[in-house]
Amino acid sequence: MKGPVDLDYKGLSNIGTWFIGRLQTQRDKDRVLEGMERLESASGCDREFLDKAITTLKKREFLLNNIHENSPSVFTTRWAMSYLRGPLSREHIKILMEGRAPASGAGAETSEPASMPALTTLAKAATEATPTEPATGPAEQISATSVPPAATSATPTTPRTSIKPAISPNIPEFFVDTPTGGGSWVYKPFIIGIGDIYYSSASLEIDTHITYTLGTEAPDTFDPDWERGFDLDIAPEELRTTAAGGIPFLKLPKTLAEPRNYATWGKAFQRWIRQNKPLVIYKNQPLKIVSLPEESEADFTIRIDEALREKRDIEIEKIRKKYDSKMATLQKQLIAAEQAIERESEQAKHRNMETVISFGSALASALFGRKSLTATSTYRMGSALSKAGRLKKEKMDVARAEERLQFLQNQITDLETRLNEEIDILTRNMEKYKEATRESLVRPKSTDITIKAFGLAWIPVRIRE
C-alpha cells in the first residue's frame, strides 16, 4: 500500500476506480485532488465537492469514484469474522482429499477440488471440535484406589447395558479397577495412552525415564483432544484385561469402535506428548544445584533454602576465624590492663596511707617535741614530702592503666562491629542467590518416546442418584 505522495501525476491521472479513505495530512489530500481534477468531466464532480467529501469521511468510510459511474459515492465497511479451527492435521487433509483422484505422475494434471460433502464434513467437524460446554472427562486424576470426581459420573437415565459392547479384536482394550467406596458404578469408555519418555540433558545432568498414563474422551471427529484429557494415577501393569463383574457398560461411541482410528490416534498421541510434555527443570547456578526430575518448584525452593543456610553457616565460620586471632589478642591485653589497674590502685592506696602517717608523725614531732625544730623533725617532714610525690606518681599510673583499658575496650567494640557488618553483607548476598533460580525445559526427541500401550479403556464412573 502506497500513500498519495508516492504516486506520480501520470499514475494518478490514469486511475479509473478510486477507493479513498481518511487522509492524514493536507498534503496527501491535495495530491489526490490534483490527480482527480482530470476526471471531473467523467465523474461529474468538481474539486470543491470532492474536497468536502474526503474531509468529512468517518472511520471505516470510503469514497468510491468510478469513471464509469455518474457520481462518486460513500460506503461503509462491515466486519467480517471467520471461524477457523486452526492448522489442519493429517486427518483433516484426508477429509478434504475425499473425492480427489491421486496424481498418476509428476506431469499429471491437478485433480478437481474436494467435493462439497467433504468440505461440509470438515466445516462441521471444525465447529464441533471446539464446543463451548465443558468436557465430561475427569477433572482430576483417577486411580484404582480413589473415587473418580463428579465430572466422570453418569446419571441414572444414561443408557447402559449389562453386556460389554462387542469390539474388534484389533482394538487394544483395558479395564481400570473399581475405586473403593460406596455407590453404584458404570464402565465409561475412554481413550488411553501410555507413553514412556526418555529425557536427557548433559548440561542439566538429566538422564531419566518418565511414564505418562493419559486418558481422554472419545472424539466426534479428528484427533482426541488431549489438552482436555486427564492423568491416570495408575501404573501400566495395574491395568486389567478383563472387566469386573456386576458393573454395567455405557454405550460405545462409533469412533471408538473403528480399529483404524487407533493407529492414527496413536501417532497423534505421540506427537502431542512430545510437544506438550517437556520436563521442567530448575537450576540455581551460583549454588550449582539442579532440581530432580518431577520435583516441584516449591520443593526445589526448600532445598535451596537449606543449602543457603548451610553455605551461610560455613561462610560465617570462615569470617569468625579471621577475626578470632585479633579478638584473642585484644582480650589478653584487656585482661592485662584490668590487672594493671588493680595492681596500681592497690599500690596507690598503700602509698596514700604511708603518706598520711608520715605527715602525721612529722607534724606531731614538730609541735610537741622539746624543740620546735630538730634534725629528726626535719627528716620526718622531708620523708613525708617524698612519699607524697610517690603517691602522685602512683595515681598517674592508675590513670594511664584506665586509659589503656578504655582504648582496648573500644578496639574490641570496633572489631565486633566490623564482624557483624561482614555477616550482614554476606546474608544479603546470600538472599540474592534465591533470585538466580532459572527454569529450563528438556524436550524429548521423537526417537526418545515409546508408546507402551494405546487403546480403549473402560473406567468406572459413579452413577449419580
Residue 184 has pLDDT above 90, yes or no: no
Do 424 and 458 lie in one domain? The reply is no
Residue 109 has pLDDT above 50, yes or no: no
The mean pLDDT value for 166-176 works out to 91
- Count the Cβ atoms, other than its own, within 10 Å of residue 424: 10
Q: What is the pLDDT of residue 358?
A: 55
Do 99 and 159 lie in one domain? The reply is no
Query: How does residue 123 score in pLDDT terms, banded at 50, 70 and 90?
Result: very low
What is d(CA 413, CA 408) in angstroms, rounded to the nearest whole number? 9
Residue 3 has pLDDT above 60, yes or no: yes
- Count the Cβ atoms, other than its own, within 10 Å of residue 81: 5
Q: Is residue 139 part of a domain?
A: no
Q: Is residue 37 part of a domain?
A: yes
The mean pLDDT value for 281-307 works out to 88
- Domain coverage including residue 119: 87-103+111-130
Query: How does residue 94 score in pLDDT terms, banded at 50, 70 and 90?
Result: confident
Do 165 and 272 lie in one domain? The reply is yes
Selection from 92-101, 131-140, 152-161 with the highest mean pLDDT: 92-101
Residue 128 has pLDDT above 50, yes or no: no
Q: What is the pLDDT of residue 141?
A: 35
Q: What is the pLDDT of residue 361?
A: 57
Query: How does residue 195 score in pLDDT terms, banded at 50, 70 and 90?
Result: very high
Q: What is the pLDDT of residue 356?
A: 58
Q: Which residue has the cell 557488618?
A: 421
Do 196 and 232 lie in one domain? The reply is yes
Do 158 and 221 lie in one domain? The reply is yes
Between 128-142, 180-194, 195-209, the lowest mean confidence (pLDDT) is in 128-142
Query: How does residue 191 score in pLDDT terms, banded at 50, 70 and 90?
Result: very high
Q: What is the mean pLDDT of the chain?
A: 74
Higher model confidence: residue 96 or residue 272? 272
Q: What is the pLDDT of residue 83?
A: 59
Q: What is the pLDDT of residue 229?
A: 87
Do 157 and 233 lie in one domain? The reply is yes
Q: Is residue 287 part of a domain?
A: no
Do 156 and 257 lie in one domain? The reply is yes
Residue 252: name the closest of 47, 456, 25 by CA: 456
The number of angstroms, rounded, from the C-alpha of 99 to the middle of its chain's C-alpha atoms is 49
> What long-range pairs does 40-47 form, CB within 8 A, spacing at least 24?
42/67, 43/67, 43/69, 43/70, 43/71, 43/72, 44/70, 44/71, 45/71, 45/72
Query: How does residue 144 score in pLDDT terms, banded at 50, 70 and 90?
Result: very low
Between 59-68, 393-402, 431-440, the lowest mean confidence (pLDDT) is in 393-402
Q: Is residue 156 part of a domain?
A: yes
Residue 261 has pLDDT above 80, yes or no: yes
Residues 298-343: tens digit of each pLDDT: 898 898 888 888 888 888 888 888 888 888 888 888 888 777 777 7
Q: What is the pLDDT of residue 219?
A: 81
For residue 291, what are the contacts with CB-CB under 8 A and spacing of at least 6?
Answer: 281, 282, 283, 297, 299, 300, 303
Q: Do 13 and 41 meet the contact criterion of CB atoms below 8 Å apart?
A: no
Q: Is residue 222 part of a domain?
A: yes
Do 274 and 154 lie in one domain? The reply is yes
Grid coordinates of 122: 470438515
Tally the residues of the chain: 465
Higher model confidence: residue 16 or residue 370? 16
How many distinct structural domains can be found in the chain?
4
Q: Is residue 39 part of a domain?
A: yes
Q: Is residue 174 part of a domain?
A: yes
> What string of DSSP letters covers 20-44?
E---SSHHHHHHHHHHHGGGHHHH-
Do 273 and 195 lie in one domain? The reply is yes
The mean pLDDT value for 249-276 works out to 90
Q: What is the pLDDT of residue 82?
A: 65
Do 270 and 315 lie in one domain? The reply is no
Residue 20: name the closest of 4, 34, 38 by CA: 4
Do 173 and 69 lie in one domain? The reply is no
Do 333 and 258 lie in one domain? The reply is no
Q: Is residue 9 part of a domain?
A: yes
